[in-house]
Structure 1
């Protein structure tokens, strides 16, 4: 049985053994060398000139350990290749800065991760035009397209508002327009969604979150799905227009994003992430189920004004989530009815850790407006529908009953009435 015939988790946990590892090891070795030698200087020259493939010369562009991780991610995202980075933002920045240039136009979802939103401001300063759109509407995206539009960027589930783009419709639009379609799959991960199925050209994952899953290693990745025709993309440098055009884009991302910009993933971090990935499906199933229970509980609580979770029937993109996602993941947000009680509620909680970050085994919680979106300003928060009383929760692997009881005691402690109609069915 080949790796491509195996089930999702089997393919992850058996990947190293199938690929072959020295000395019969169960896992790939951690390669700490920064330089790699060659028997013949002709081979070293060939690597630099692109004539020799599959060899390593300097760890900034990759090691056997990072290559093994890239292979696993490529398999999960059903792509033709992957480049790993030291952080998720390193991956996002590499896509923008290596494939766009001054005078180009980028169309982006208005509901993007706070640091990505900040990066979009940097792109504008570099002469790249950026238009923020309502991604739940194909018409809004279509209206924003221009002759110089090179890329459309969306996230599968927005952080923190949980808006979901019209993923397949945008894919059709980008295909017809010949525009790069870049999908950040971090929240859903390949365990719940395959962006290739909706026509994504490139798929980004923050490996620090769902894939790594234990809050123990930073990393990011860009996967090429093999759908986009790079021979028609004007921003590929002449030196990379050699051989099979399928790999031109990814080669440019690796050369410019790793070799020139240096956002390189270490072998130690790559190994940690690869081990974390082995429990990916199990973790996502458990945290999604618990998040669903918590969302249903909070929806009925008198102290809560709104709950944002795609698994709830009243969520605006509930049907999209049900059709395309295997579950609705660990991310939910809710708005307190009385903003003045926010700090008291958070301080009364005993299980969730008051911290930034997402996709951990432990439940993490944070007030959104005064922290991760404070720098964005009130106007941006209003455009992104981030209320002053919004609280983001990254649901972990704790027992659902313990979490629900903790939220109830915290909400009750600050003056809200305990809710007798609590629904804990999944």
Structure 2
């Protein structure tokens, strides 16, 4: 059936794309590390890339491929590679495609761990320039003759700056620069990344796609929009017949096979199950986040609320044009100076203090003293992160219960 809605297609994707054996609606989990070949020439052909197949589960397995098929179909790409975590997908992709002497332009608002990874890249001789990606002209001003890639997030975590995706995409396309986008906060149900000319999509499957706080995973999807023939860092042995596969082939070989951050078969299965309800969960999450943001924006205990759905958000109109069915599930608040951040979080009864996000449960944490602590006060200031900032990942609970929990916490601490 060709005209299924995206929501229906997600529910039936495993069955329709992978055709599980014995009439199953889910691909069976394959825990075999090795794979037998009756004719050794078949083993040789798979090793040399002359035919598709599995030789060792660190590099590929039927469980991983079935999930890759679903995720690639989800974003209408030309291929996908899954990894053990989202950070593994990012690090493997960058280490596979970049080399000493290259230059990349990245968002100055990057999530803490990703920003820390940029320091590791610099240790390998890759030049990194951090810019304000809410305006494409800042990216353009930073581009050099050796610039290989531009990298940003669709919505920044935690202050929710919305990148100038259209402008950056057009800029990269005009200069034949790879545009890598972390769309963890806005999976395809919210953002069609191909419409902004993103080349590679890097996503933490641990978050909204898995969605239930019980599995780790990451993926890189090639949208098929980038011409790899113009990317000089592709090794000759990975320049396969199909040019559209050059980038992914090198990522698979150097990033997955050589670095070994393999997604476990059972994890692949769990993620595919989570995908089935993604659209429904994101709809509820976005609605709850909007309601909570409005509530907090008028509360006397709050100085500022950062959420793209609010009219006063600096990139609200851009978010309205970009995102299909909501503004995401992340918002951040700066509490009034009279309220101790840690005391407030300890007072919450339903909301969980945790470092995760994109879960079915609502989570909250103090940003400066946790996930951005290693960045230091000076960098946090540039990123707009104050000591009073709390990040909230909104879940799918009844919104009245979420609001009631905030109500009781404020009532206890505001005299």
The TM tier, using the shorter chain, reads over 0.9
1:194 CA drift (Å):
1.4
- Alpha-carbon distance in structure 1 between the residues aligned to 2:193 and 2:112: 22
Describe the superposition over 1:275-318 as per-residue Cα deviations: whole angstroms up to 9, x where unpaired.
01100000000011000000001000111010000000000010
Pick from 272, 276, 279 the counterpart of residue 277 of structure 2.
Answer: 279
TM (norm. structure 2) is 0.98
Q: CA deviation at 1:25?
A: 1.0
* Contact 1:112–1:158, Cα closer than 8 Å, also in 2: yes
Give the match for residue 155 of structure 1: 153
Match of 2:183? 185
Residues 339 and 414 of structure 2 are in contact (CA less than 8 Å); yes or no, is this contact kept in structure 1?
A: no
Residue in 1 aligned with 2:328?
Answer: 329
Q: Is contact 1:152-1:180 (8 Å) kept?
A: yes
* Distance in 1 separating the partners of 2:23 and 2:240: 37
- Following the alignment from structure 1 to structure 2, what is the Cα–Cα distance between the partners of residues 103 and 8? 42
Partner of residue 239, structure 2: 241
**4+ residue stretches of structure 1 with deviation over 3 A?**
none
Of 175, 195, 207, which residue of structure 1 is paired with 2:173? 175
CA distance in 2, matches of 1:374, 1:179: 32
Cα deviations by residue, 1:32-77 (Å, 9 ceiling, x for unpaired): 0011111110110111111112x11111112111111111111111
Aligned 8 A contact 1:339 1:388 in 2? no
Work out whether residues 105 and 146 of structure 1, in 8 Å CA contact, stay in contact via their aligned partners in 2: yes
Report the 3-state secondary structure (helix = DSSP H, G, I; strand = E; otherwise coil) of the residue aligned with 1:375: helix
Per the alignment, residue 217 of structure 1 pairs with 215
Report how far residue 270 of structure 1 moved.
Answer: 0.4
Equivalence for 1:164: 162
The equivalent residue for 2:30 is 31
Equivalent-residue separation in structure 2 for 1:310 and 1:241 (angstroms): 42
* CA displacement, residues 154-179 of structure 1 (integer Å, 9 cap, x when unaligned): 10100001001110010000001110
Does residue 1:347 correspond to 2:342, yes or no? no
Q: Deviations over 1:160-209 (max 9, x none)?
A: 01001110010000001110000101011111001111000000110000
Structure 1 residues 170 and 339 mapped into 2: Cα distance closer, same or farther (>3 Å)? Answer: farther
Q: Say whether residues 1:369 and 2:368 are aligned partners.
A: yes
CA distance in 1, matches of 2:342, 2:371: 15
**Unpaired segments ≥5 residues, structure 1:** 417-426
CA distance in 1, matches of 2:168, 2:338: 36
Structure-2 separation of matches of 1:296 and 1:16: 38
CA positional deviation for 1:143:
0.1
Aligned partner (choices 310, 313, 316) of residue 315 of structure 1: 313
Residue 411 of structure 1: aligned partner:
410
Matched, 1:198 2:196: yes
Counterpart-to-counterpart distance in 2, 1:255 and 1:339:
54
Distance 1:16 1:378 in 2: 46
Query: Whole-Å Cα distance in 1 between the matches of residues 96 and 338 of structure 2?
Result: 42
Cα offset, 1:232, TM superposition: 1.0
Deviations 1:229-281 (A, max 9, x none): 00110000110112011000001111111100001101000000000110000
Does residue 7 of structure 1 match 2:33?
no
- Number of residues of Structure 1 aligned to a counterpart in Structure 2: 413
Deviation at 1:16, TM superposition (A): 2.2
Q: TM-score, normalised by structure 1?
A: 0.96
In structure 2, stretches of 5+ residues that fail to align are none
Name the CA distance, whole Å, in 2 between partners of 1:395 and 1:259.
Answer: 36
